[in-house]
């Protein structure tokens, strides 16, 4: 990974045109070619980014990052305060808690609980960004990329977005759909997911396990 701290401007041209005025920012170039621009705040979300595959042309005082879709991101450096390269090695990936792991296993065994007609292709499908929880096929023949969470929050939607971008480069998968599945999906996460065309599904963990809730009643209708 290459890390720069620099005063820079950033211009994006593609689906729309955006510009970040000159300021001090963190520029990250990952080993897979992803380029992300961060401010000193905003948690994990970059101000702008380009997912792999990309090409980065170093033109001295500026970089031009481009991808096969014809999008470009131009980073113009006014001053570079730090520039370093680090070898991070292979990441073991996120260790899911017991409930989330079992939820994924139960859904893999009964994909139709997420959507009628859904058929499992495989679990833990490998990508350059980590394993996708579930890959399924829907009744229209589309490949459904499924991210499973115990609690559905915005970071899970962002994770699914990155997987979708990576898998779009695999022509063998055909047309892709994204599905965000959780026991409970927060309103902000649902809004973001649906704005990106993802299907949101809430599932009942106890029902999947075959555990029936206690049904105490004051009077027996029988």
Name the segment(s) of the chain with CATH classification 3.40.1350.10. Answer: 98-209
Q: What is the pLDDT of residue 195?
A: 96
Write the DSSP symbol of residue 162: H
Give the pLDDT confidence of 59-80 residue by residue, as tens digits.
999 999 999 889 999 999 999 9
pLDDT tops 70 at residue 13: yes
Of the ranges 12-21, 24-33, 158-167, 208-217, which one carries the lowest mean pLDDT score?
208-217
Give the pLDDT confidence of 131-164 residue by residue, as tens digits.
999 999 999 999 999 999 999 999 999 999 999 9
- Measuring CA to CA, how many Å separate 222 from each of 133, 212, 216, 217, 219? 45, 20, 14, 12, 9
Does residue 12 contact residue 73 with C-beta atoms inside 8 Å?
yes
Q: What is the pLDDT of residue 219?
A: 40
What's the rounded Cα separation, in Å, for the pair 74 and 52? 16
Spell out the CATH class of 2-85.
mainly beta
Q: Which CATH fold topology does 98-209 show?
A: Trna Endonuclease; Chain: A, domain 1 (3.40.1350)
What's the rounded Cα separation, in Å, for the pair 71 and 48? 12
Give the pLDDT confidence of 97-106 residue by residue, as tens digits.
557 888 999 9
Q: What is the pTM of this model?
A: 0.55
Name the segment(s) of the chain with CATH classification 2.70.180.20. Answer: 2-85
């Amino acid at each position: 990974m290459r890390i720069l701290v620099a005063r820079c401007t950033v211009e994006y041209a593609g689906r729309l045109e955006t510009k970040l005025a000159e300021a001090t920012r963190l520029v990250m170039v990952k080993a897979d070619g992803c380029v992300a621009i961060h401010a000193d705040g905003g948690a994990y979300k970059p101000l702008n980014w380009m997912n792999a595959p990309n090409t980065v042309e170093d033109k001295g005082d500026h970089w031009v990052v481009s991808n096969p879709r014809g999008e470009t991101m131009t980073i113009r450096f006014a001053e570079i305060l730090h520039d370093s390269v680090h070898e991070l090695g292979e990441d073991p990936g996120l260790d899911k808690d017991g409930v989330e792991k079992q939820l994924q296993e139960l859904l893999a065994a009964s994909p139709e609980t997420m959507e009628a007609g859904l058929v499992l292709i495989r679990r833990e499908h490998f990508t350059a960004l980590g394993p996708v929880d579930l890959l399924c096929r829907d009744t229209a023949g589309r490949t459904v990329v499924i991210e499973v969470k115990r609690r559905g929050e915005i970071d899970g939607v962002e994770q699914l977005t990155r997987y979708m971008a990576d898998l779009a480069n695999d022509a063998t998968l055909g047309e892709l759909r994204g599905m965000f599945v959780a026991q409970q999906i927060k309103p902000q996460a649902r809004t973001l997911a649906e704005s990106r065309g993802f299907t949101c599904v809430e599932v009942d963990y106890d029902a999947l396990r075959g555990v029936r809730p206690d049904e105490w009643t004051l009077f027996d209708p029988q």
